[in-house]
Amino acid sequence: MSLQWLVTIGLWFYGFVLLALSLRILMKRRPVGVTLAWLLFLYILPGLGIGFYLLFGERYLGRLRAKRANQQFQYYSLWLQRILVAQHDMLSLGTVLRPVMELTRGSIGMPVITGSQWQLFNQATDVFNKLILDIDQASVTIFIEFYILEAKGEVEHILLALEGAVARGVHVYVMLDSVGSNRFLRSKRCQLMVVNGVKILDVLHANYLRMTLRRQDLRQHRKLISIDNKIAYTGSLNLADPKFFKTKSGVGPWVDIMVRLEGDISRIIQGTLVFDWEMETGVRLEKHLEWPAFTSPTDQNLMQLLPSGPALDEEILLQVLLTAIHNAQHRVIITTPYFVPDEALLQALKSTAKRGLDVTLIVPRKNDSKLAQYAGRSFYHELLTAGVKIMRFNSGLLHSKTVIIDDHLVLMGSVNLDMRSIWLNFEATLMIDDENFCDAMLEIVNEYKSQSQQLHLHQWKNRNYLQRILENLAQLTSPLL
């Protein structure tokens, strides 16, 4: 066969693949920005665009993991439905549920929990010290799930406490993302913990040989801990000591927030961790599920866990965010390290500010992701023009992920306000409807504000032309970040 024929066949094959992928992208009916971004990549990067789409264009878990997720979700949903039936009488006694909690309950069947006790932390040392005390008192099970574990500084004391718990007969399950915790998972310290009886799982294992079988940038980003179905932790902090973590990145110390919980909400969190373990291993841990006790609440706080990711309703997280913002009556305050909104979220913030509400966005001045930083800044002009206040945190990388609505509702957890967190990663958000909790969160946020500088529209208009070009180029990739 002549070279000309080979070239002709190659061109016809390339055209067929390009057309097939274009039709597939169009038929997926994703947000317009995402669709257009992928079509742009396909046509301006010949060959390379096709490769990128095959690797990163769709949210596929892999055949075996998707099958497990489906099977476990059916069982897990039944467990949740029984909880909803059991708590029906309690909720009918006059508890008024807010729209976001009604939405989550109706979408994925998550119950609303009352009367939980909580303790907020904004210092990593305080979290680590309290966690070690809780681990030392554990008697049955400990579940831990994090994106990053770095065995340095105070984290080493936590690892020793976990090994001590195993020695007492406690079942310890640790789930770590394959990419985020790659260095630890390959370390001798990890091997020693396994030898000492700690069950450590390499979650969503990243492997170049499996690129075509599962999307490799789909990550387990949750930060969850459950101890004996009685105590739970969640928030934005990874198991990494800020004194040692990424100290050479030039962004300063990472600033996070965590909450320690006691009560029925811990049983729901442990149920989510059981779900994640089975999805990854196929091993059923039904014995570690417990029903909420539904004891008489000591106060009227409401809590609800929103786990999100490819195994669940793919639109629920964005719907919750939009519902919360659109139902605000007085103010919306957001803290996030990575702000790259989609069009719906951008318009929600702008329209809320135009209604005359106080809409404040607090982001770090310096970021460890330059692409996300420039993409996020490309939206600043629109937001400032609409009346949104943008404050840039100067005392490190503000990694706290919170949304405060009015004087009662707080959303906190692992979710960044970018499309990766909202559409792709496995995330966990705790929703709290309680004035006391909101007041405590506002105290912390006011500390952030005191270490931040407000950005004004006239300042932003005076930035240099090169920066504007970089922002606009980065914005083209924003639907894919």
At 464, phi and psi to the nearest 5? Answer: -75, 160
Q: Tokens 């904004």 correspond to what residue?
A: 122
The active-site residue, picked from 230, 288, 350, 399, is 399
Q: Report the alpha-carbon distance of residue 332 to residue 326 in Å, rounded.
A: 10
Q: b/e for 356-386, b at 16 or more Cβ within 10 A? A: ebebbbbbbbbbbbebbbbbbbbbbeebbeb
368 closest CA partner among 333, 398, 406, 401:
398
Q: Report the alpha-carbon distance of residue 334 to residue 448 in Å, rounded.
A: 11
Q: CA distances (Å), 20 to each of 9, 28, 61, 390, 477, in order?
A: 16, 12, 22, 43, 22
CB 165 within 8 A of CB 136: yes
At 140 the three-state DSSP class reads coil
The active-site residue, picked from 134, 221, 433, 449, is 221
At 444 the three-state DSSP class reads helix
At 231 the three-state DSSP class reads strand
> Token digits for 397?
């990388």
Q: Tokens 């450590």 correspond to what residue?
A: 200
Q: Report the alpha-carbon distance of residue 139 to residue 143 in Å, rounded.
A: 12
The alpha-helical segments, DSSP class H, found in 362-410 are 370-377, 380-386
The active-site residue, picked from 228, 256, 276, 433, is 228
Residue 288 DSSP one-character state: G
188 closest CA partner among 176, 196, 177, 178:
196
Q: Report the alpha-carbon distance of residue 334 to residue 346 in Å, rounded.
A: 13
Strands (E), 122-204: 141-146, 171-177, 199-203
Specify whether 248 is catalytic.
Answer: no
Specify whether 401 is catalytic.
Answer: yes
At 196, phi and psi to the nearest 5? Answer: -80, 5
Strand partners, 304: 431
Specify whether 354 is catalytic.
Answer: no
The active-site residue, picked from 126, 358, 368, 406, is 406
The active-site residue, picked from 223, 288, 350, 449, is 223
The active-site residue, picked from 350, 401, 434, 449, is 401
425 closest CA partner among 411, 410, 437, 413:
413
Specify whether 223 is catalytic.
Answer: yes
- Catalytic amino acids? 221, 223, 228, 399, 401, 406
